[in-house]
Structure 1
Amino acid sequence: QRFLAEELLGNIGEDGYVQATLDEIVQGANQALDAYVAEHEFDEGEGTDAVERYTMAEVEELLRIVQQLDPAGIGARDLRECLLLQLREEEQQEAMTYKLVDEAFDDLISHRWGELAKRYGLQPKEIQDAADGLAHLDPKPGLRFAAADDAYVTPDLVVEKIDGEYRVFLNDGGTPRLRLSRVYRDLAADKKKFVGENKEFVTEKLNNATWLIQAIEQRRQTMLKVMNFIVDRQREFFDKGVEYLRPLTLREVAEVIEMHESTVSRVTSQKYAQTPRGVLPLKFFFSSSLETTTGEDASARAVKALIQKLVSDETLARPLTDSEIVAALKARGIRIARRTVAKYRDQLGILSARMRRRV
């Protein structure tokens, strides 16, 4: 069963799930078997027709073996099977939690507590308690063995509050500074000993090096100008938090510091600043705007933070609907459409009111 095992294991993804149908795995294994037979010499009558083909029963049995491996849930074909494998490992087959996953998974993930309560003759609270039994399970058990993707960021700029004022510094203390070689500068300046093509060559290279050093310095100064403007514009954010982040565009910055918008875009791309609010990408400070009743604009990122706060403060038995969030934001002077609230909520990973509701 070598080729069948290789085909099955090769189709288990990083998350631990089987990524192909069993029929596709059988077909792939048989193709690999045919290729192997074709490449080797066999006695007369021992061609591919004489080789026993892999069957669906064999791959199903092999999958059952894989599903007994640690961690529980490996080799599942979908989330339902993944959870059932873990519950079986815990010998929970008689528990209501297992029944909900096994018999009513669609209603379970849709939080239809009332319908499930009627179906099993229980109270909605009992159904919710049973559903809570899934909280400790791992929906992607294979990721325990995935290579860690730790990202370490060295900030390019530092923002510190000194004597009540925010100051911006370049964080380039560990970066070597470029300098022109004195030897080559002296050679280029020696009009008696250094003439002709050699002098032209050295002079050209010195000019190129000078241009490069000046370009790097100009880039450093542009970064400082951009960050100083950001600090000035976003003072309330640094003092009070993300809810006070103001809308800002690359064009606005470019106009103030008198540079092209593309230049501002380049110096802010993949650049980070260490601030009293954490290490943040410079792109964080740029956000679209929404109109307010006061005539000022509100940052889309700040509005998302307000939505997050409204939801975190809500009563679980009566979660806020999108329309109610619209009304709450309107009371704060922010005009926003319900579809925009729904879009922001999805981007924040917040479920709908019905899915958040608890009895």
Structure 2
Amino acid sequence: MTPQLQMAIKLLQLSRLELVEMVQQELESNPTLEESETVETPEETPAETPEAADAREITMEESFDERLDWQQYMDEYSSTGRVHYESEEKEAPNYEAFTASRTNLYDHLRWQLLMTRPTAEQEAIGSLIIGNLNKYGYLDVPLEDVAQMAETDVSQVKDVLYVMQTFDPPGICARDLSECLLIQARQFGIVDPVVEALLRDHINNLENKRYQVIARELKCSMETLSAAIELIRQLDPRPGFRYGDEDQIYITPDVYVYREGDDYIVMLNDDEIPQLHINSYYRQAVRKGEPIAKDTRTYLRDRLRSAEWLIKSIQQRRRTIYNVMVSIVKFQRDFFDQGIAHLKPMVLRDVAEDINMHESTISRVTTNKYAHTPHGIFELKFFFNSSINRADGNTIASASVQEEMRKIIAGENPKKPYSDKKIADMLEAASGIRIARRTVAKYREIMGVLPSSKRKQP
């Protein structure tokens, strides 16, 4: 493959953020490549006559308030654009001293620990406890290990731990799920013997939805048990997670699809992607044979060629993404009109044949690219689905089957959730979709839906 083709293929499979990063690196390393600056062209206005100019100046002078001493105003206005007031001398804030940092769990807990005015030994124990918390806020090591590291007694570690379990966020520094939720219940003032018994002795039964067993052992009604479980659902099983270092990733679409009348418009998102051009000085210096050293001329030619390839490859990438999205809209018109339930089966070959490109090219285009549609933001790969046969001989996309399953599960009785076999039978009866029970289980796992035994409510 030629270097230009290699670059085109490389750019095609990059995500939007990766492309922006690569372009910035090229701008820094290639002196012949520059970022275009979009300059707004002022609207042309007819030339003013001297009379009109004089009239405009008179009007401006008359608009000034004569009571305002403009000379004093200009004298008070500093060269840095700040006004000094009488009997007041203030320096402008040093904006470089302001930082946008996010408080992590370690700093948050250590600050609270120091607020308790601990002794040197207590501070050392507390720091060890904080350092051994996992990302969910649980203490991962036995107290004996903490005591050994701090060279102190286990009783001292327990005393510090119990103090730290009163810190924010509620439930922090617990050693297991039961202790975490019990700490939160106490801090929130939940005084209920059923709730306490559930958290202390029946966590495993709760996880496995064994409500009849719990009600029988606690000798309480299902209504009382249901109310207690609803209170427990308000507690946070991962109190330290909100202070994690993982930043949320926000998806920026590569392409927008808007509806206008009875048609759809495809628009590429070029925000944050620099508009590139080649430096005219270097281009002319190489073309006009300026007296440049041979090594320098060879270097500039290579850099100019690389810059041209990059600009052409970016344009080719834009055209390819646009053509692929237009083809997707054509094949999946029912989806754009009516939603996910009307998504059609489609493979890479369909689009490849439509726009005269290879399937591998379509695969690269649809990787890590997202489209904003009237029904939400979807990865381009979402529109390519395997087909499921209906009873009437027609086919339906697998994503549409999952959407039908989601509707069925949303409408089930929480006390008697549908089994996978029941869902398969309902799909065939209602929509003529024939799939096996194991296929329902597979789709359910993809959707993040628990099995019926775990979905059952008291």
Tell me the TM-score normalized by structure 1. 0.82
User: Matched residues in 2 for 1:61 and 1:316: separation?
Assistant: 44
Q: Are residues 1:6 and 2:116 paired?
A: no
Deviations 1:307-335, CA, capped at 9 Å, x for gaps = 11111112223321111101111221222
Paired amino acid for 2:395: D
Q: CA deviation at 1:226?
A: 1.0
Structure 1 counterpart of 2:165: 67
- Kept in 2, the 8 Å contact 1:245–1:302? The answer is yes
8 Å Cα contact 1:289-1:299 kept in structure 2: yes
- Please state if 1:297 is matched with 2:395: yes
C-alpha contact 1:247 1:288 (8 A) present in aligned 2: yes
- Counterparts of 2:271 and 2:164 in 1: how far apart (Å)? 53
* Aligned equivalent of 1:338, options 423, 437, 456: 437
- Change in CA separation of 1:124 and 1:211 when aligned onto 2, cut-off 3 Å: same
CA offsets per residue over residues 238-297 of structure 1, 9 Å max, x none?
111112222333344334333333322332222222221123222332333333334443
CA distance in 2, matches of 1:147, 1:245: 37
Percent of residue pairs identical: 37
User: Which residue pairs with 1:165 in the alignment?
Assistant: 263
Contact residue 116 and residue 124 of structure 1 kept, 8 A: no
Which residue of structure 2 lines up, in the alignment, with residue 353 of structure 1? 452
Q: Cα distance, 1:201 vs. partner? A: 6.0
Paired residue secondary structure (1:133): helix
Matches within 5 A, 1:305-316: 305-316=403-414
**How many Å separate the matches in 2 of 1:353 and 1:334?**
21
**1:140-151 alignment to 2 at 5 Å?**
140-146=238-244, 149-151=247-249
- 1:200 deviates by 6.3
Q: Given the two structures, how large is their TM-score scaled by the length of structure 2?
A: 0.66
Aligned-CA RMSD value: 2.8
The letter of the residue matching 1:247 is P
Between the aligned partners of 1:63 and 1:20, the Cα distance in structure 2 is: 12
**One-letter code of the match for 1:82?**
C
The answer for the alignment partner of 1:236 in structure 2 is 334
> Residues 414 and 457 of structure 2 are in contact (CA less than 8 Å); yes or no, is this contact kept in structure 1?
yes
What secondary structure is seen at the aligned counterpart in 1 of 2:335? helix
> Larger deviation: 290-299 or 113-122?
290-299
Partner amino acid, structure 2, of 1:21: P
The answer as to 2:344 corresponding to 1:246 is yes
| Alpha-carbon distance change, 189 to 57 in structure 1, aligned in 2, over 3 angstroms | closer
The SS at the match of 1:166 is strand
Distance 1:4 1:251 in 2: 63
**Paired position in structure 2 for 1:25:** 146
Provide closer, same or farther for how the CA distance between residues 320 and 200 of structure 1 changes in structure 2, counting only shifts above 3 A.
same
The 3 A distance-change label for structure 1 pair 17 and 195 is closer
Q: How far, CA to CA, are the matches of 1:333 and 1:131 in structure 2?
A: 38
CA distance in 2, matches of 1:287, 1:23: 55
8 Å contact 2:254–2:269 — kept in the other structure? yes
Deviations along 1:153-174, whole A, 9 cap, x unmatched? 3322111112201121222266
Residue 177 (str. 1) matches residue 275 (str. 2): yes
CA distance in 1, matches of 2:195, 2:299: 80
1:33-74 superposed Cα distances (whole Å, 9 cap, x missing partner): xxxxxxxxxxxxxxxxxxxx4333332332222212223211
The aligned residue for residue 328 of structure 1 is 426
Q: Flag the structure with larger Rg.
A: 2
Cα offset, 1:103, TM superposition: 2.4
Bigger RCO of structures 1 and 2 (CA < 8 A, at least 6 apart)? 2
3-state SS of paired residue (2:277)? coil
- 1:202-241 paired onto structure 2 within 5 Å: 205-241=303-339
Is residue 83 of structure 1 aligned with residue 204 of structure 2? no
Which range is displaced more, 206-215 or 69-78?
206-215
CA offsets 1:128-179 (integer angstroms, 9 cap, x no match): 1221121221111223434573433332211111220112122226644333
Question: Do the aligned residues in 2 keep the contact of 1:188 with 1:194 (CA within 8 Å)?
Answer: no
SS of the equivalent of 1:179 reads strand
Return 5+ residue gaps in structure 1 as ranges. 31-52
> SS where residue 233 of structure 2 aligns?
coil
Bigger drift between 138-147 and 10-19 goes to: 138-147
Within the candidate set 271, 277, 291, 2:369 is matched to 271
Matches of 1:175 and 1:92, distance apart in 2: 53
Contact 2:209–2:457 (CA<8 Å) still a contact in 1?
A: no
| Contact preservation (8 Å) 1:93, 1:99 | no
Could you say if the C-alpha distance between residues 80 and 190 of structure 1 is closer, same or farther in structure 2, counting changes exceeding 3 Å? same
**Unpaired runs of 5+ in structure 2?**
1-120
Q: Deviations along 1:4-57, whole A, 9 cap, x unmatched?
A: 333221011232111223344344x15xxxxxxxxxxxxxxxxxxxxxx43333
1:183 Cα deviation (Å)? 4.3
